[in-house]
Structure 1
Amino acid sequence: MSTTGRTATAAPDAVAATLREAPFVRILAAADGDSVAASGVVARALDCPFQVSVTRTAAERERRVAAVADDHPSDAAATLVVGDDADGPALAGRETPASVTAADVARELGASPDPVLALAGVVAAGEMPGAGESASLLAAAEDRGLVERRPGVAVPTADLTDGLAHTTLVHADFSGDPTAAGAALADLDLPAERDETARRAVASLVAIAASGGDDTPPRAAAAAERALRPYATPESPFATLGGYADVLATAAEAAPGTAVALALGHDARDGALTAWRDAAERAHRALREATTGRYDGLFVARYDAAPVATTARLLRDFRSPEPVALVVGDGEAAAAAVDDRTIGAAMRAGADAVGGEAGGDGHTGYARFDPDEDDGAASPDTKEFIAAFRGAL
């Protein structure tokens, strides 16, 4: 697998032509919200049997392809890779969110894509709804009354305490702690029926809490924007577009089967919310309790129980003083950068040094390896992985 993230996304009409003629389609999605949403958009437009799987490394993807080939040996079966580079059709999702391109593929196949699912993928990719090529999706959703912008904060549930405590769109003092989130809201003395003034007060609370700390990097304010002035989604499984994206992104890592079921339109809301809450609590706890190290251009956090990809994204946006954040858990690691730093290639170098496997692109990456035990301290393999990753940046 190429890990540079520079291979161009295939043209939607070319992808559609390949999928249209296939008797069976295997879709292999990267473990992120945009890729999973894009996979759901395409899968819902297919007229043939399909299988959607979430893969995190090149080796895992190859194993999935081989397993499906055993069950469907026809050479005519098609494989669509979403979120990574590939030899065949691929929706890379970096220059343009994969969900936007997936919607174009669905139209080429004669289907009407779900604009809310596709826009949730756009938000999960770190973009604002309606930005760039997603403008037509937002217009379609607004025309059909599927989204409505309002003041406030983007959370997936009607329970604001639950939403603020578990959102991974921001990190603040109350993050991961429902009691602390409830106390912060109580201080606002909100009315029982929240009007626009009350919603703005909550938004101000979140904006200040997420970006005003002494150890908060300047980029935190921009990152927190994704959580403010949300689009309400009354016909979606979740209360807001940003909340939908948040659940997809965390579930893609913590409960990929549930995330895929959600993107395919199945009743997976409760399971997805359970995965979201658990992953959020572990990620926010990791940001507070991790063992950290700062290097030139790199900030490293070690915490065994971390959902590494979710934690790396939060670390980059809300805590890292360096442009690259690396989170190392128990036998796995993830990195996130503010721009293209060939992260995928660096993750592969780190994995190769310890006999592991990796995947990623220029901005994000993931590695899996089997660390030696060392009484709770950083194992020799963990140290070697970090050193190799640093050397490859």
Structure 2
Amino acid sequence: MSTEGRSAEPVSATSALESAGFVRIVARADGDALAASGLLASALAERETPFQVTVGRTVAERSERARAPTNDGDVTVVVGTADAVADGEHVLELEATDRPAALDAVDLVRELGATPDPVLALAGFVASGGDPGAGESEWLLETARERDLLERRPGVAVPTADPIDGLAYSTRLRAPWSGDPDAAREALSDADVGDPDALDADDHRAIGSLVALDVVGADEATDAAAETIGRALRPDATPEAPFATLGGFADVLEALARTDPGTGTALVLGHDVREPALEAWREYGRRAHAALESASTGRYDGLFVVGIDDGPVEAVARVAAAARSPEPTVLAVGNGEAAIATREPGSLGATVEGVARELAGTATGPDPEADDNSETGTGVEYDVGHRRGYLRYDPDVDESTIIAAVRDLL
């Protein structure tokens, strides 16, 4: 199984896309890859090159689509890890797991002579776990501010102008009232939140202070919660974007990539789908926080396990890693699927792929010589992203088997 991706070479990718008659973009199911797809699609639209964007939930799904027959002159771009599908200049892979896909897409877009949308690129970068302005994203942040597309203000990073609505469903923080707008409203009553459009800097500052106290003061909060809320405070407002802040935009991208990729694709292509996007985001956040509230937990050396009956496992793993886990890595186990999230740098590719192989061996007997590394023939599939992983398998597999496999390979 391949554990590290490689970015498409800009020159060869540029040449292939410049001469393409039609481009299929097959994206990984996360906010970073979704943003990258939108950036690339916009550049193709500017060149009047026809294109199609789809989202593949697992490596197997993306690989299958990339292998599908195409017409002469067509090019497929896979944003995310895929099996060996390259066919000369007909399949390009933006698959690095150690660098945000949005940054790879920005480089490619510029090679095509187009100007990338800095807000969408930064939203993808934030969705990957980056801080806006850090590292290679610094020039994007400066560009967005010079163009008055971003404006730093007090408060918390949420997608809606109404802070109660935004905070209740946000998966970028965890407080005692998360997932419950009525409880959030009561908890923030001292901030006297009235008309959301009339909030001034002092109002946002008061809201930020109350939220920070609730997040770090929660009974189950860990030291990581302070760092998490620190990153969500003093957000970049996005007056020209569909959502109120950059961090809120990233949160919506994450939700849509996993639960409503059609709406997510329409969003990054510039269509007006704000309301359905927010509805999908609210449901995603509500389910994630409800699942975490009723979850069982277990602590091992270096690993925190969260068992849930229902809910988005990747959101649960990410929120737990950010605010509830005393260990750097979290495994969220649901019904026939699991997710791994970590606060530490580096790829989880080797771990996720190894677990997928062990699960396949549990079902049919070990096959260490197998070449197919995304679909083992037993229904075990996986995906790898920036500091995260996802597994889909037979629901009859016992939770203890998953835990043992992850512990062995961390």
Fold similarity call, TM over 0.5: yes
Identity %: 52
Give the corresponding residue for 1:12.
Answer: 10
What CA distance in whole angstroms lies between the structure 1 residues aligned with 2:386 and 2:270? 31
**For 1:134, which of 133, 137, 140 is the aligned residue?**
137
Give the corresponding residue for 1:45.
Answer: 43
1:160-204 CA-to-partner distances (Å, cap 9, x unmatched) read 110110111101111100001111221223565322222111111
Pairwise CA distance, 1:290: 0.8
Give the corresponding residue for 1:65.
Answer: 66
What CA distance in whole angstroms lies between the structure 1 residues aligned with 2:258 and 2:121? 19
- Corresponding pairs, count: 380
Instruction: Report 1:255-266 matches (<5 A).
Output: 255-266=260-271
Closer/same/farther in 2, CA of residues 322 and 127 from structure 1, 3 Å limit: same
**For 1:222, which of 222, 227, 237 is the aligned residue?**
227
What CA distance in whole angstroms lies between the structure 1 residues aligned with 2:101 and 2:63? 21
Instruction: Report 1:1-393 matches (<5 A).
Output: 2=2, 4=3, 6-46=4-44, 47=47, 48-67=49-68, 69=69, 72-74=70-72, 76-84=73-81, 87=84, 88=86, 89-92=92-95, 94-190=97-193, 193-340=198-345, 343-352=348-357, 353=359, 354=363, 355=378, 356-361=380-385, 363-372=387-396, 380-393=397-410
Report the more deviating stretch, 44-53 or 93-102: 93-102
Pairwise CA distance, 1:350: 2.9
What CA distance in whole angstroms lies between the structure 2 residues aligned with 1:190 and 1:179? 13
Closer/same/farther in 2, CA of residues 196 and 101 from structure 1, 3 Å limit: same
SS in 2 for 1:136: helix
Pairwise CA distance, 1:329: 1.6
TM-score relative to the length of structure 1: 0.90
What CA distance in whole angstroms lies between the structure 1 residues aligned with 2:25 and 2:217? 42
What CA distance in whole angstroms lies between the structure 2 residues aligned with 1:250 and 1:108? 30
Letter aligned with residue 306 of structure 2:
A
What CA distance in whole angstroms lies between the structure 1 residues aligned with 2:93 and 2:10? 10
Closer/same/farther in 2, CA of residues 291 and 92 from structure 1, 3 Å limit: same
Contact 1:130 1:136 in 2 (8 A): yes
SS in 2 for 1:59: helix
Letter aligned with residue 387 of structure 1:
A
Contact 1:123 1:226 in 2 (8 A): no
1:212-234 CA-to-partner distances (Å, cap 9, x unmatched) read 33432212222223321111111
Contact 1:12 1:102 in 2 (8 A): no
Contact 2:99 2:386 in 1 (8 A): no
Letter aligned with residue 143 of structure 1:
E
Closer/same/farther in 2, CA of residues 204 and 91 from structure 1, 3 Å limit: farther
What CA distance in whole angstroms lies between the structure 2 residues aligned with 1:207 and 1:322? 21
Pairwise CA distance, 1:313: 0.6
Letter aligned with residue 39 of structure 2:
V
Structure 1 residue ranges (4+ consecutive) displaced by more than 4 angstroms after TM superposition: 85-88
Closer/same/farther in 2, CA of residues 199 and 93 from structure 1, 3 Å limit: farther
SS in 1 for 2:340: strand
Report the more deviating stretch, 252-261 or 312-321: 252-261
Pairwise CA distance, 1:101: 2.5
SS in 2 for 1:187: helix
What CA distance in whole angstroms lies between the structure 2 residues aligned with 1:73 and 1:177? 50
Q: Where in structure 1 are there 5+ consecutive unaligned residues? A: 373-379
Pairwise CA distance, 1:210: 1.9
Pairwise CA distance, 1:93: 5.2
What CA distance in whole angstroms lies between the structure 2 residues aligned with 1:104 and 1:135? 14
Give the corresponding residue for 2:372.
Answer: none
Contact 2:154 2:233 in 1 (8 A): yes
What CA distance in whole angstroms lies between the structure 1 residues aligned with 2:202 and 2:6? 45
Report the more deviating stretch, 174-183 or 142-151: 142-151
Q: Where in structure 2 are there 5+ consecutive unaligned residues? A: 87-91, 364-377
Letter aligned with residue 368 of structure 1:
R
Letter aligned with residue 34 of structure 1:
D
Pairwise CA distance, 1:317: 0.8
Report the more deviating stretch, 286-295 or 273-282: 286-295
Pairwise CA distance, 1:340: 4.8
SS in 1 for 2:191: coil
Letter aligned with residue 390 of structure 1:
R
Contact 1:35 1:98 in 2 (8 A): yes
What CA distance in whole angstroms lies between the structure 2 residues aligned with 1:86 and 1:16? 22
Letter aligned with residue 383 of structure 2:
G
Contact 2:5 2:97 in 1 (8 A): no
